[in-house]
Amino acid sequence: MTAARPLASGTMTLGRLKWITVLAALVFILLLEIVRRVLYPYLPSLPGMILMSAAVFVGCIFFFAALFSVIERTQSTLERRNRELLTLHEAALGIHGDLALETVLQSVVDRACDLVGTRYGALSVINDQHRIESFITSGISPDTRTRIGPPPVGHGLLGVVLNEGQRLRLADLGRDPRSVGFPSNHPPMRSLLAVPVLCKSPFRGNLYLAEKAAGAEFTPDDEESLVRFATTAALAIDNAHLHMRLNDLAVAEERLRIAHEMHDGLAQVLAYVNTKAQAVKVFLKNGRPDEATQQLDQLAAAAREVYADVRESIIGLRSAAVPGRTIADALQDYVSTWQAHAGVECDLRIEGAPRLTPNAQLQALRIVQESLTNIRKHANATRASLTIEQSASTLRITIEDNGSGFTPGELGRSEFPRFGLSTMRERAETIGGRFQLDSVPGSGTRISVELPTPAGPDIQMPESIQERP
- What does the binding site for another protein look like in residue numbers (CB under 8 A)? 35, 38-39, 42, 45, 47-48, 51, 54-55, 58, 61-62, 64-66, 68-69, 73, 219
CA distance 258 to 236: 33
> Least separation, in Å, of the C-beta of 42 and another protein?
5
Contacts of 189 (CB under 8 A, 6+ apart): 120, 173, 210, 211
Q: Is 176 exposed, middle or buried (0-12, 13-18, 19+ CB in 10 A)?
A: middle
Could you tell me the smallest distance in angstroms from the CB atom of residue 47 to another protein?
A: 4
Closest distance between another protein and the C-beta of residue 49, in Å? 11
As a whole number of angstroms, the distance between CA 403 and CA 101 comes to 49
Which of 242, 261, 451, 457 shows the shortest CA–CA distance to 353?
Answer: 457
Q: Please state, in angstroms and rounded to a whole number, the distance separating the CA atoms of residues 56 and 30.
A: 12
The residue among 59 and 139 lying less far from another protein, judged by its C-beta, is 59
Q: Report the C-alpha gap between 220 and 78 in whole angstroms.
A: 16
Ordered DSSP codes for 151-194: PP-S-HHHHHHHHH---EEES-GGGSTT-----TTSPP---EEE
Closest CB 44 distance from another protein, rounded Å:
12
Return the number of the residue (47 or 183) whose C-beta is nearest another protein.
47
Taking the least distance from each CB to another protein, the nearer of 54 and 322 is 54
What's the rounded Cα separation, in Å, for the pair 23 and 16? 11
Question: Of 286, 163, 167, which is closest to residue 229 (Cα–Cα)?
Answer: 167
What does the alpha-carbon distance between residue 10 and residue 75 come to, in Å, rounded to a whole number?
8
Residue 5 or 186: which CB sits closer to another protein?
Answer: 5
Checking DSSP bridges between strand 383-390 and strand 345-351, what pairing results, if any?
A: parallel
Nearest approach in angstroms of CB 193 to another protein is: 16
Query: Quick one: 68 or 307, whose CB is closer to another protein?
Result: 68
Q: Least CB distance from residue 53 to another protein, whole Å?
A: 12
| Nearest residue (CB) to another protein, 9 versus 337 | 9
The CB-of-40 to another protein minimum distance in angstroms stands at 9
Give which of 182, 175, 137 is closest to 159, Cα–Cα. Answer: 182
Q: Which is nearer to another protein, 12 or 54 (CB)?
A: 54
Nearer to another protein, 55 or 296 (CB): 55
Decide: 29 and 258 in contact? Cβ < 8 Å: no
Closest approach of another protein to the CB of residue 37, in Å: 10
